[in-house]
Amino acid sequence: MSRTPRGPGLVQREPSLVPSLYRDLRDRIVSTTLRPGEALSEVRLGEAYGVSRTPVREAFKRLAEEGLLEVVPQVGTFVARIDLRVVRDNHFVRETLECRIVELAAARLDAAARVRIRDNLSAQRRAIAARDAAGFFRVDEALHELLAECAGHASAWQVIHSAKAQLDRVRRLSLESPARSRLRMNEHRAIADRVLEGDGAGAAQAMRAHLGTVFESIANIAEENAHYFIDTDAAPPAARRA
């Protein structure tokens, strides 16, 4: 495991460090900087962050509760593989909420929001031109959050964001392909165009298509990176052979 420098705000009293450490590790798992199956050491991470094992252990506990870490007694702690069952549930939550969000955004858009949407699309183009997958992911997220604000339901984005950690891990793997990033940007433009036109039904249709292509790409990504995935909905081998 690579040594991580102390992040901003991590040099604090240790009890107050846990949330910052948790967020930093969570971001690294979701971004796939820490890959599924990678072993993590409380001691080494404590040394890297300049803290004792206690806040690391507490952060590990929270991440394990979210299904992002797997703790194997007497063996070690590992970044959990991506569970396709959970990814499917993440997609269901996201599609249900975001299609309604863009319908409302199209009806409630103001002049300032129009400028912010167009600025975001420009930022997406710059990120793709620079082949900056991490930067593209950030502005992709920012667009979806902006649409929730435009709909008058900013807090709904926090619900979506919390519910889609496993899905985001797949999305980050998908954006390692520049072609997939360009496809996502074109889909974002289709959503934005309909929102800007005040076409709520069309915006919802474009959002559903966008989220659908993200979901459809999961099969290819899982095939390309089979060692990163599990599917707890799948029948056990004995049942499949029967």
Q: What is the pLDDT of residues 108-121, one digit of tens each?
A: 999 999 999 999 99
- Confidence (pLDDT) at 11: 42
Asked if residue 8 has pLDDT above 50, the reply is no
- Confidence (pLDDT) at 13: 53
Average pLDDT over the chain, rounded to whole? Answer: 88
Cα torsion 4, 45, 78, 66 to 10°: value is -90
In the beta sheet, which residues pair with residue 79? 69
Q: Are 232 and 210 in contact (CB under 8 A)?
A: no
Cα 79 to its chain centre, rounded Å, is: 15
* pTM of the complete model: 0.78
Cβ–Cβ contacts within 10 Å for residue 107, how many?
A: 15
Asked if residue 148 has pLDDT above 50, the reply is yes
In order of 60, 82, 166, 221, the CA distances from 218 in angstroms are 27, 11, 12, 5
Listing DSSP states for 101-134 in one string gives: HHHHHHHH--HHHHHHHHHHHHHHHHHHHTT-HH
Which residue in the block uniquely carries the two structure tokens 């900013």? 154
Reduce the DSSP state of residue 81 to 3 states and report it: coil
- Confidence (pLDDT) at 241: 31
- Confidence (pLDDT) at 138: 93
Q: Are 18 and 63 in contact (CB under 8 A)?
A: no
In order of 19, 126, 131, 176, 232, the CA distances from 33 in angstroms are 19, 22, 17, 12, 24
What is the mean pLDDT of the segment spanning 182-194?
Answer: 96
Q: CATH 1.20.120.530 spans which residues of the chain?
A: 83-228
Maximum CA extent, the chain:
61
* CATH fold of 83-228: Four Helix Bundle (Hemerythrin (Met), subunit A) (1.20.120)
What confidence category does residue 14 fall into, taking pLDDT thresholds of 50, 70 and 90? low
- Confidence (pLDDT) at 24: 94
Return the CATH class of domain 14-80: mainly alpha
What is the mean pLDDT of the segment spanning 24-41?
Answer: 93
Lookup: tokens for 43: 């001691």
Query: Which tens digit of pLDDT belongs to each residue from 37-77?
Result: 999 999 999 999 999 999 999 999 999 998 999 999 889 99
Q: What are phi and psi of 131, to 5 degrees?
A: 55, 40
Q: Are 108 and 151 in contact (CB under 8 A)?
A: yes
Q: CATH 1.10.10.10 spans which residues of the chain?
A: 14-80
Q: How many CA atoms lie within 13 A of 36 on its CB side?
A: 18
